């Protein structure tokens, strides 16, 4: 049994704060893998090696027995499932540390057990995520027998009819780069997961700040009702809206994901934030256009604008399209006067040579908005 150095250091720090003494943790070979004195990490510890070799429960090193590798203090074996796998050491004279011994030993073993349990949970989650990635995103369907057998070991029946949703926080880029924003996203995803996984057989894969949701077969109406329920719950609890894409009729799960993902891309600019595949129009074609072409198109529309300026124009366009071109509603959503918005749209016309207020020019800006969502990161370079 092994514990990671990172987990060991967290345990040592936590115990050190409680007992107010220097703490070391040694591995099964007698080397210090974690310490409140970071200069000692990696050093060999003779007393720890003696405890392990001779199966001792504890060993006190007096000041007279100090060596270049061992300081005065109490060292105790730490066990997991009846096996000694390391040593915890408390630096100090005997009168200082004798009262801590068994308490520190027990705390260490409890924290290690919790750490191992968490590591096992994380490992199982990685195995599940890898399986879902192969099934949904990769070529797992081309190896159906192997995929089915892997599914059985995870208690997943891949033959069950399923529907797919893709879900994320709306305006994700505004939240993802801050600690508070990331915390909110994590809480939203946890709430969505809790509600989805409450029904047996539903599965969730987190991928690129999205949740790909596999649901047991249900009707289009039921899919829409679930999307509305989740969106309302998240808005009421966190004050943010979801972007939800719903699949259509598909021959396999991978195709269902492609449909749901296209619907999700469309939903990000939809006022209600929910879009079914059957409602998707222009978004269907954006995936066929190369990244280079998308960048060139955006730079042609927003001539001589840097990334920051383009981002501001895109924000205005997203709001403008979400309210179906209403100047009053868009100005209200942007917290500016309608005359200010009119001025900005005139400025955009000067830059692009196109007027978003004219029906014949609308599509050009809508496509630019869709392209920007796909290659935003490359425009920063």
Average pLDDT, the chain: 84
The CATH fold of domain 5-112: Beta-Lactamase (3.30.450)
Q: Is the pLDDT of residue 139 over 70?
A: no
- Rounded Cα distance between 351 and 300, Å, is 10
User: CATH assignment of 161-280, given 1.10.287.610, 3.40.50.300, 3.30.70.270, 3.30.2010.20?
Assistant: 3.30.70.270
Predicted local distance difference test score (pLDDT) of residue 158:
86
The beta-strand segments (E) located in the chain are 23-26, 32-35, 58-61, 73-80, 83-91, 162-169, 203-207, 210-216, 242-246, 274-276
What are the extents of the domains in the chain? 5-112, 161-280, 291-379
Range 291-379: architecture per CATH: Orthogonal Bundle (1.10)
- Record the tokens describing residue 4, joined without a space: 């990671």
Summarize the confidence of residues 58-64 as an average pLDDT.
Answer: 83
> Which has more confidence, 112 or 349?
349
Predicted TM-score (pTM) of this structure: 0.58
Summarize the confidence of residues 160-185 as an average pLDDT.
Answer: 85
* pLDDT tens-digit series, residues 300-319: 999 999 888 998 998 899 88
């Amino acid at each position: 049994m092994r514990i990671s150095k990172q987990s060991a250091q967290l345990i040592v720090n936590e115990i050190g704060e409680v007992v107010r003494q220097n703490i070391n943790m040694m591995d099964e070979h007698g080397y210090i893998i974690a310490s409140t004195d970071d200069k000692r990490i990696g050093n060999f510890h003779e007393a720890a090696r003696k405890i392990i070799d001779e199966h001792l429960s504890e060993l006190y090193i007096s000041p007279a027995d100090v060596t270049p590798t061992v300081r005065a203090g109490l060292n105790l074996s730490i066990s997991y499932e009846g096996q000694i796998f390391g040593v915890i050491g408390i630096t100090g004279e005997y009168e200082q540390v004798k009262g801590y011994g068994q308490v520190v030993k027990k705390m260490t073993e409890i924290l290690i057990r919790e750490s191992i349990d968490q590591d096992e949970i994380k490992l199982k989650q990685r195995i599940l995520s890898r399986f879902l990635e192969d099934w949904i995103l990769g070529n797992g369907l081309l190896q159906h027998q192997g995929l089915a057998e892997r599914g059985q070991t995870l208690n997943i029946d891949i033959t069950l009819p399923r529907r797919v949703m893709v879900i994320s926080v709306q305006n994700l880029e505004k939240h993802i780069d801050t600690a508070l924003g990331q915390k909110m996203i994590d809480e939203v995803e946890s709430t969505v997961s809790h509600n989805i996984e409450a029904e047996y057989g539903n599965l969730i894969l987190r991928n690129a700040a999205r949740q790909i949701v596999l649901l047991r077969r249900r009707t289009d109406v039921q899919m829409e009702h679930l999307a509305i329920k989740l969106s309302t719950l998240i808005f009421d609890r966190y004050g943010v809206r979801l972007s939800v894409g719903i699949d259509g009729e598909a021959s396999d799960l991978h195709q269902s994901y492609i449909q749901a993902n296209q619907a999700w891309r469309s939903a990000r600019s939809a006022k209600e934030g929910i879009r079914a595949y059957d409602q998707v129009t222009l978004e269907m074609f954006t995936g066929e256009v190369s990244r280079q072409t998308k960048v060139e198109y955006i730079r042609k529309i927003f001539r001589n604008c840097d990334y920051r300026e383009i981002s501001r124009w895109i924000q205005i366009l997203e709001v403008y399209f979400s309210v179906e071109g209403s100047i009053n509603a868009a100005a209200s959503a942007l917290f500016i006067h309608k005359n200010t918005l009119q001025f900005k749209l005139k400025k955009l016309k000067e830059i692009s040579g196109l007027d978003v207020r004219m029906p014949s020019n609308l599509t050009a800006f809508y496509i630019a908005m869709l392209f920007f969502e796909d290659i935003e990161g490359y425009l920063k370079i």
